Amino acid sequence: MKTQKQISIKQYRPSEGFISRYQKLIREVVIPYQYNVLCDRAEGSEKSHVVQNFINAAAALRGEDVGDGFYGMVFQDSDAAKWLEAVGYSLAVYPDPELEKTADSLIDIIAAAQDEDGYLNTYFTIKDRDKRWTNLLEGHELYCSGHFMEAAVSYYNGTGKDKLLKVMLKNAEHIYKHFITEKHEGYPGHPEVELALLKLYRATGEKHCLELAEHFINVRGENGGDFYKREKDLRDWTVWGNNAEDGFYQQSYAPVREQSDAVGHSVRAVYLYTAMADLASETDDEELLEACRRLWSSITDRRMYITGGIGSTGIGEAFTVDYDLPNDTAYAETCASCGLMFFASRMLESCLDGRYGDVMERAFYNTVLAGMQLDGKRFFYVNPLEVIPGISGIAATHWHDKPRRPEWFACACCPPNVARTIAAFGTYAYGEGDSTAYCHLYAAGEVDFSFGLKLRCETDFPYGFSVKYTVLQGAGTLAVRIPAWSEYTSATLNGGEISLRTEHGYIYVNVSEGDVLDIVLDDRARYVYSSSKAAENTGCAAIQRGALVYCFEGVDNGGDVLSLVLDDSKEIAVGETKSELGGASVLTVKGSRTAQTDSLYSFEKPEKIPVELTAVPYYTWGNRGENQMRVWLPY
Amino acid sequence: MKTQKQISIKQYRPSEGFISRYQKLIREVVIPYQYNVLCDRAEGSEKSHVVQNFINAAAALRGEDVGDGFYGMVFQDSDAAKWLEAVGYSLAVYPDPELEKTADSLIDIIAAAQDEDGYLNTYFTIKDRDKRWTNLLEGHELYCSGHFMEAAVSYYNGTGKDKLLKVMLKNAEHIYKHFITEKHEGYPGHPEVELALLKLYRATGEKHCLELAEHFINVRGENGGDFYKREKDLRDWTVWGNNAEDGFYQQSYAPVREQSDAVGHSVRAVYLYTAMADLASETDDEELLEACRRLWSSITDRRMYITGGIGSTGIGEAFTVDYDLPNDTAYAETCASCGLMFFASRMLESCLDGRYGDVMERAFYNTVLAGMQLDGKRFFYVNPLEVIPGISGIAATHWHDKPRRPEWFACACCPPNVARTIAAFGTYAYGEGDSTAYCHLYAAGEVDFSFGLKLRCETDFPYGFSVKYTVLQGAGTLAVRIPAWSEYTSATLNGGEISLRTEHGYIYVNVSEGDVLDIVLDDRARYVYSSSKAAENTGCAAIQRGALVYCFEGVDNGGDVLSLVLDDSKEIAVGETKSELGGASVLTVKGSRTAQTDSLYSFEKPEKIPVELTAVPYYTWGNRGENQMRVWLPY
C-alpha cells in the first residue's frame, strides 16, 4: 500500500530559486532546441528525422511508397515522446499557448502514424509491418509505447487535452490483445512500458493497463529468461546482434522476485525496478517489494558512485560487480541517474526512509545536472569522475568518457531525459499522504496538497542551507527529510526550537495555517572517504557540501590536477561565487602539488609544493573548455 | 654497424644459480609438458592438435582426404616452432639424446608437411590451398614461417642438425619468389618473419633472407597502409573479422621510418621494432635506427609498467596512449615483455647504453617470470598490477585479468615464449665486440667469447648483490652494465678498488687471464614513485629491490591489501626466505590498515591501525591460491 504518493505536477508552483532557474532553462532553451532537433532544424547536431519518421509512417499506412523512409535508431520515436512529456510538465506550471500549439501539432502527426489496430511505431510501420512484435529483444516497440504513455499522461495533466491519452489507451489495448488475449509470449527487451502502464492506469483507471504491467513484470525471467533465445531462433534478422542469451544484460536471468544484484544495462535495470516498486505498493506485493529493497541495496550500498552515477562500465552500459567503481572509465549514464531518481521516488511511496531521498538528491544534483551544459545546449551521456584530455575520449577503454559535452547525439536518450526530470522536479520533491505533506527534496515554491494544506517553501538550496516552510492554509503533519549529510541541523517552529528527533530520516511536525517551520542544515564542506573495498579510491578523499559533490578542474588549479594532494587535516573554506558557473560557490582547500619528475618511475620522492586547491561543484565541470578533472584526490 | 652482438647459445654454460634453476625447470618440466600438449597428451589442458595438424597436412599433400583435419588457431603451427626453438637452446647447453630424438621426429613430421614449392602451413594446406597468401592481414602464414625459421636456427646451433634449416631456407626461397620475384604486394599482418629472416641470414649467409626482411620492413605502411584494405576487398572470407583499416593495430598506418609512437597490438609492435633495430645495425641505416630510438622512448618513457609490462589494454591487446597505465585492467602480455627483451637486445647491438639492459632486466625478472607458475605448469598471458578476486577475471573490463594462472590455452603464445626466452637467457646476458666482453645481465656461468676470452661469472643475483667475474683465459676489455637502480656500487679488480665511472651505464675494465673483478651492487629495497602523469599511481608508491619489483598479496597481509597504506618514511627490511616461493626473500615495511567502514562513502575518516606489511617479488605472485594483489600502495 502506498503510504504516500508523488504529488501531481500542477500541485507545485516553483518560486525563484535554483530549481526554477533550471526549469526556465528547460523552457527557454532546451525545449525549443530539442524541438528543432526533432524537426531537423538544429544546426550542428546530427540528423534526427524523428518528425519525418512519423509523417512517413502515416504515409505508409495510407499505402504510399515511402521507400527507405525511416532514419535513426530503432527507438528514435521515443525522443518525441520524452520531449512531449517534458512539455506537458512545463505547460502545467508555465502556460505557453505557442508551445502548446506546437505540441498539439506534433501530437496530430503522431496520432496519424497509429495503425488502425492501435499499433504505433514508425520503425516497423515504415520498414516492415510483418516484423511487428517478432523482436522484443531489440525492437524497442514496447519501450517507445511506454514513453508515449508517459508523455500522454504528462500532457493530459499539464493541458487537460486527451488526444494523445486516447491514442495511447488504444495502443495499450492493442498490446493487451497481443500479449494477454492472444497469449503471445514475451516481455520488453528494454523495460519502460511497465512503469508507463502503471502511470496510464492511475491517470485513466483502465484496469487492463495494470494487468499488462503486472504481466510483463511477472513473466520476465521465467525459465531462466529463455524466451529471447527462442524468439531469436524464429527470426532471420537482427537490429544490433544483441546476445539473446545474456540474461544479465536485460535482467531476465531469473524471475524478478528472485533477483538480488543490480545487473546489466543500468537504464533498463532502474526502469524495471521503478515499475516493480510501483507495482509492489500498488498491489501490496511484499515479495516484490523485498526484491526491490535488495536491488536498491545492491545499487546504493555497493555499486554507486559518490555522484549518484550508476553502471560503471561502457561495455553494455552496465552494472558490473560490487565495488568495481573506476573513476576514469566510468559509464555512469545520465539516463541511469534519472532512472535511479524514479526508482527512489517509487520506493518512497511504500518505504518512508530518508535514504531514498538522500540518493535521489545525490543523483539529481550531481550526475543528472552534470548531464547538461550550464547553457542547456550540450549534453553528457557519460559521467566519469576523472578526466584526462589525451586519454579520456581517445584510449579505447576511455572512448566513451568525453572531456567535453557533445551536442545532441544520434542516440538522444539523455538530453530529453534530463529535461523531463528537471521539468517534473516538484513531483519528486513533494509527496502526500492522507493528512501529511512530505518534503523529500528542497524546492522553493508553493504546494497545494490534496488534503487541503497549502505550503510555501523558501530556500536557496543547494547553496543556501536554510529552508523556511510557511503554512498558507489548512492543517496537517509536515514531514521533512533531514539529509544524512546534515549532521548538525536545527529547526524552529514559529521561532521556538523544536526537537530534531528523526524517524527514518524525517522529522514530523504538526502544523496549521500561519505556522512557520525554519530548518537550518549543516553547511560545512567536508571530506568524504570511501570504503577501501572500492579499490579506485583508496588513499583518496572527495569533498561534499550539502547535496553537492565537488571536483577539481585544471582551469582552477594551474592546469594540472593529477599532481594535487589534499591536506585533509585542514578546514575547507567556501570561496567566491562564479558567475561563469551559474553562480556556483567554489571551495578552497589546502594541499600540495607533487613536483613533476623527468622519468616515469623514480626512487626520489618527488617534492611536494604547498598550494591552495580550488574545487567546483561536480555538475558544473566541463563548462570552461577541455581540462583535467578529478573528484577523488590523494590525501 | 653492430658495435657488439649477442653471443651464440653455446658460448654460455650456466652454473648453479637463479638462471640455471629456471633453465632446469624449462628442461625438466616445461619442455616435456609442452610436448605432451602439442601431441594432445597433457591432461586438463585444452586440445592443441598441433602435431596432428602437421600429419594431416602431409596427408593432404599426398592427395588424401583429411576432411576437417585442422584444429586450432590460424597460427597453431607456431607452437611447435617455439617449442623446437626452446629445445634447440636447451640441447645446446644440456645434451639430451632422448629429447633430441623426440625433436628430430617432430622435425620429420613438419618437413613432411612442406609443399613441393616450399610452402609450409597446415591451416591453408589442409583447409584450402587456393587461399594461400590471400589474407596476410589475418592468415599468419609469414608469422608461422618466422617462428620455424627461428626454430631452425636454434636447432641447428644447438645440435648441428640442418634438416629444419634446409626446410626453412626452401620456405624462405618460396616466400622470396612470391613477394620479390613475382612482385606480389603485401607484408605480414603480424610481424615476426622479418626478425626471423635476419637470424636465418646470419646463420646461413643467404642474401635473399636479408633482402626479404628489408623488403617487408620497407614496404610496411606505404600509402597509409592501404594494402590490407585492398587485400580485403579481393576476398570473401575472414579469420576473425580484423579491421583492415586499423593501421595502428598492425603498425601500418605509416612507413616504419616515420613512426614515433608505439601503437597497436603490443607483441606485433615489439617484434617489428626488434627486426627494425636488427636491420638498422646490419645495414647501417641511421634513419631506421632513429625511428627505433623514438619507438623505444615511446615505450619505456611513457607506456611501460614498472614491471616491464607493455600494452595496457585488453582491447586489441594493445598500447594505448601516453601515461595510460591502469593497474587492474592492464593487459601487459607476457609475450610482449619477451618481445621487449628482444627489442632491447637488438638496440644494444648498435647503441651501447645501460638503459636497454635495465629494461631487459626489468621485463625479464618481473613480467616474463611472472608469466609462469613457479612449478612451470601454469601460465599468465596477462599481467595486471592489481588483482581483486570478485572483480578481476569477472567484470567485463577485467575479464582478461585472471587471479590465477590458467593451464595451457587454446591460444598458446605465451608459455613457449617464456620457455624460449629463459632457455636463451645467456644470449641476452652476454654480448661481444672485437675484443670486448659485454655483460648486460648478471648470469652465473662460464662464457667463451669469440676473441679468446673465457670468463666465469659467480652470483646469486637477483637475491645476491655481489657479482664476481674471473678471467679464466685470454685478455680484453670487460664491459659490465651497472644498473640504474644501483646507486651505490663498488668494484674491485684483484682486490683493489677501481673507479666506477660508467659510460652510458657500463664500466669498462681491461683484463687478462687470472684477473678477478668483484662488483657489489646496491642491495637496498627502495620505494619507487611514479610520475603524476600516470594517473593510476598518484599518491602511491611501489617497492623495488635490485631488479625485482615487489607486490603485496592478501595471503601475507591478513587477506586484504586494499586497505593497506605504506609509511614510506620507514626503512624497508629484508625478511625471511620463503621456500614455497622458490626461495624468494620477502620484504617487510611499516604501514597501516584502514579500518573497514560500514558504508561505501562516509564523512568519518576511517581509523588507521598500524601494521607490518609483507611484500613478495612480483614474479612470485599468484602461487598460493587466489587472493588480492597490489604493486602500488597509497602512502
Q: For position A469, what pLDDT does the model report?
A: 98
For residue B391, the distance in angstroms to the closest alpha carbon of chain A comes to: 6
Kindly state whether residue A334 falls inside one of the protein's structural domains. no
Q: DSSP secondary structure string, B488-516?
A: S-EEEETTEE-----BTTEEEEEEETT-E
Distance, in Å, from the CA atom of A621 to the CA atom of A329, rounded to the nearest integer, reads 17
Does one domain contain both A545 and A622? Answer: yes
Candidate from B322, B397, B606 with C-beta closest to A313: B397
Give B562's contacts in chain A (Cβ within 8 Å): 532-533, 535, 538
By C-alpha distance, the chain A residue nearest B313 is A397
Whether residue A562 and residue B535 make contact (CB cut-off 8 A), yes or no, is: yes
Mean pLDDT of B250-278: 97
SS3 at position B214? helix
Mean pLDDT of B531-539: 96
Kindly state whether residue B183 falls inside one of the protein's structural domains. no
Candidate from B391, B527, B538 with C-beta closest to A605: B527
Distance, in Å, from the CA atom of A142 to the CA atom of A191, rounded to the nearest integer, reads 8
Give B565's contacts in chain A (Cβ within 8 Å): 538-539
By C-alpha distance, the chain B residue nearest A606 is B529
Distance, in Å, from the CA atom of A190 to the CA atom of A239, rounded to the nearest integer, reads 14
Give B304's contacts in chain A (Cβ within 8 Å): 600
Distance, in Å, from the CA atom of B635 to the CA atom of A27, rounded to the nearest integer, reads 50
* C-alpha cell recorded at residue A317: 552500459
Does one domain contain both B566 and B624? Answer: yes
**Residues across chain A:** 635
For residue B346, the distance in angstroms to the closest alpha carbon of chain A comes to: 23
- Helices A141-159 and A77-93 pack at an angle, to 10 degrees, of 20
Q: For position A409, what pLDDT does the model report?
A: 60
- pLDDT tens per residue across span A427-470: 999 999 999 999 999 999 999 999 999 999 999 999 999 999 99
What are the start-end ranges of the H helices in B160-221? 163-176, 193-204, 207-219
Whether residue A603 and residue B487 make contact (CB cut-off 8 A), yes or no, is: yes
Distance, in Å, from the CA atom of B2 to the CA atom of B284, rounded to the nearest integer, reads 8
Instruction: Quickly tell me which residue has 591451416 as its cell.
Output: B123
Kindly state whether residue B589 falls inside one of the protein's structural domains. yes
Contacts of A461 (CB under 8 A, 6+ apart): A17, A18, A442, A443, A444, A467, A521, A546, A547
- pLDDT tens per residue across span B451-493: 999 999 999 999 999 999 999 999 999 999 999 999 999 999 9
Does one domain contain both B530 and B618? Answer: yes
pLDDT of residue A45 exceeding 80, the answer is: no
Kindly state whether residue A409 falls inside one of the protein's structural domains. no
For residue A588, the distance in angstroms to the closest alpha carbon of chain B comes to: 18
Does one domain contain both B493 and B553? Answer: no
Does one domain contain both A540 and A630? Answer: yes
Q: DSSP secondary structure string, A387-435?
A: E-BTTBTTSGGGTT--SSPPSS-SS-SHHHHHHHHHHTHHHHHEEE-SS
Whether residue B530 and residue A304 make contact (CB cut-off 8 A), yes or no, is: no
Give A522's contacts in chain B (Cβ within 8 Å): none
Whether residue B539 and residue A320 make contact (CB cut-off 8 A), yes or no, is: no
Any catalytic annotation for residue B231?
A: no
Give B633's contacts in chain A (Cβ within 8 Å): 539
Domain boundary among B520, B551, B572: B520
Does one domain contain both B494 and B594? Answer: no
Domain boundary among A495, A520, A545: A520
- pLDDT tens per residue across span A559-601: 999 999 999 999 999 999 999 999 999 999 999 999 988 899 9
By C-alpha distance, the chain B residue nearest A549 is B601
CB pairs under 8 A between A and B: 178
Any catalytic annotation for residue B487?
A: no
* C-alpha cell recorded at residue A264: 546489466
For residue B68, the distance in angstroms to the closest alpha carbon of chain A comes to: 27
Kindly state whether residue B133 falls inside one of the protein's structural domains. no
Distance, in Å, from the CA atom of A416 to the CA atom of A408, rounded to the nearest integer, reads 10
Candidate from B390, B397, B528 with C-beta closest to A601: B528
Candidate from A386, A397, A530 with C-beta closest to B313: A397
Give A485's contacts in chain B (Cβ within 8 Å): 603
- pLDDT tens per residue across span B353-406: 999 999 999 999 999 999 999 999 899 999 999 999 999 999 999 999 999 998
Domain encompassing residue A468: 431-520
* C-alpha cell recorded at residue A597: 619528475
SS3 at position B250? coil
Give A529's contacts in chain B (Cβ within 8 Å): 597, 601-606
Kindly state whether residue B546 falls inside one of the protein's structural domains. yes
- pLDDT tens per residue across span A182-214: 999 999 999 999 999 999 999 999 999 999 999
Distance, in Å, from the CA atom of B355 to the CA atom of B363, rounded to the nearest integer, reads 12
**Residues across chain B:** 635
Instruction: Quickly tell me which residue has 544490433 as its cell.
Output: A240
Whether residue A535 and residue B328 make contact (CB cut-off 8 A), yes or no, is: yes
Give A386's contacts in chain B (Cβ within 8 Å): 535
- pLDDT tens per residue across span A232-275: 999 999 998 899 999 999 999 999 999 999 999 999 999 999 99
By C-alpha distance, the chain A residue nearest B319 is A395
What is the rounded end-to-end Cα distance, in angstroms, of chain B? 47
- pLDDT tens per residue across span A301-339: 999 999 999 999 999 999 999 999 999 999 999 999 999
- Choose, from B317, B349, B361, B536, the residue flagged as catalytic: B317
Mean pLDDT of B118-130: 96
Does one domain contain both B508 and B589? Answer: no
Whether residue A601 and residue B306 make contact (CB cut-off 8 A), yes or no, is: yes
Does one domain contain both A544 and A607? Answer: yes
Does one domain contain both B565 and B595? Answer: yes
- Say if residues B317 and B332 touch (Cβ distance below 8 Å): no
For residue A252, the distance in angstroms to the closest alpha carbon of chain B comes to: 18
Whether residue B597 and residue A563 make contact (CB cut-off 8 A), yes or no, is: no
Domain boundary among A473, A496, A520: A520
Q: For position B500, what pLDDT does the model report?
A: 85
Task: List, in sequence order, every residue forming a beta bridge with A431; answer none if it has no partner.
Answer: A6, A438
- Choose, from B335, B338, B351, B413, the residue flagged as catalytic: B413
Candidate from B315, B538, B633 with C-beta closest to A397: B315
The candidate with the shortest Cα–Cα distance to A544, out of A523, A519, A570, A561, is A523
- Work out the widest C-alpha separation in chain B, in whole angstroms: 77
Does one domain contain both B535 and B511? Answer: no
CATH number, domain of B508, equals: 2.60.40.1180
Does one domain contain both A496 and A548? Answer: no
Q: For position B409, what pLDDT does the model report?
A: 59
Distance, in Å, from the CA atom of B525 to the CA atom of B614, rounded to the nearest integer, reads 13
The candidate with the shortest Cα–Cα distance to A33, out of A583, A424, A412, A380, is A412
Give B534's contacts in chain A (Cβ within 8 Å): 600
Range A381-403 burial, b when 16+ CB lie within 10 A, else e: bbbbbbbbbbbbbbbebbebbbb
Whether residue A538 and residue B562 make contact (CB cut-off 8 A), yes or no, is: yes
Whether residue A391 and residue B323 make contact (CB cut-off 8 A), yes or no, is: yes
Whether residue B313 and residue A395 make contact (CB cut-off 8 A), yes or no, is: yes
pLDDT of residue A527 exceeding 90, the answer is: yes
Give A563's contacts in chain B (Cβ within 8 Å): 532, 538
For residue B486, the distance in angstroms to the closest alpha carbon of chain A comes to: 11
Whether residue B395 and residue A304 make contact (CB cut-off 8 A), yes or no, is: no
Beta-strand runs (E) in B503-619: 506-512, 516-520, 525-530, 540-545, 548-553, 564-566, 573-578, 584-594, 601-602, 608-617
* C-alpha cell recorded at residue A402: 568525453
Kindly state whether residue A497 falls inside one of the protein's structural domains. yes
For residue A345, the distance in angstroms to the closest alpha carbon of chain B comes to: 22
Whether residue B539 and residue A539 make contact (CB cut-off 8 A), yes or no, is: yes
- pLDDT tens per residue across span B148-177: 999 999 999 999 999 999 999 999 999 999
- Say if residues B345 and B360 touch (Cβ distance below 8 Å): yes
Does one domain contain both B515 and B547? Answer: no
By C-alpha distance, the chain A residue nearest B545 is A603
- pLDDT tens per residue across span A389-433: 999 999 999 999 999 998 766 556 788 899 999 999 999 999 999
Kindly state whether residue B603 falls inside one of the protein's structural domains. yes
- pLDDT tens per residue across span B55-106: 999 999 999 999 889 999 999 999 999 999 999 999 999 999 999 999 999 9
The candidate with the shortest Cα–Cα distance to B613, out of B530, B551, B569, is B551
By C-alpha distance, the chain A residue nearest B330 is A397
Measured at the CA of B571, the angle between CA B567 and CA B575, to 5 degrees, comes to 105
Structural domains counted in chain A:
2
Distance, in Å, from the CA atom of A317 to the CA atom of A461, rounded to the nearest integer, reads 32
Residues of A carrying an active site annotation: 317, 413
Whether residue B531 and residue A315 make contact (CB cut-off 8 A), yes or no, is: no
For residue A295, the distance in angstroms to the closest alpha carbon of chain B comes to: 16
